[in-house]
Structure 1
Amino acid sequence: LIFEYLLMEKQLCSYEILHSEARIILDGTTRQCFNST
């Protein structure tokens, strides 16, 4: 379950980065995505 959640989270990060990169950077979410890899 945890693994599935992490996998989903990574896919969501990728999707969000592709579709709203500017907002992601402002939110600081990009850093979290890269830290989790």
Structure 2
Amino acid sequence: MRCEHCAVGYMLSKRDPKALPLDLLLRRLEEVPIYVH
């Protein structure tokens, strides 16, 4: 769910209308560089 300042309008939404496929999200997350200090 998103709060009103994160979404357009004031209604809470349990689902985004155009969700990305999970496999695409996971593949893209694997591309993010991890910096260890």
Structure with the bigger RCO (C-alpha within 8 Å, sep 6+) is: 1
Same fold per TM (> 0.5)?
A: no
More helix by share: 1
After TM superposition, the score normalised by the length of structure 1 is: 0.34
Q: Is the radius of gyration larger for structure 1 or structure 2?
A: 2
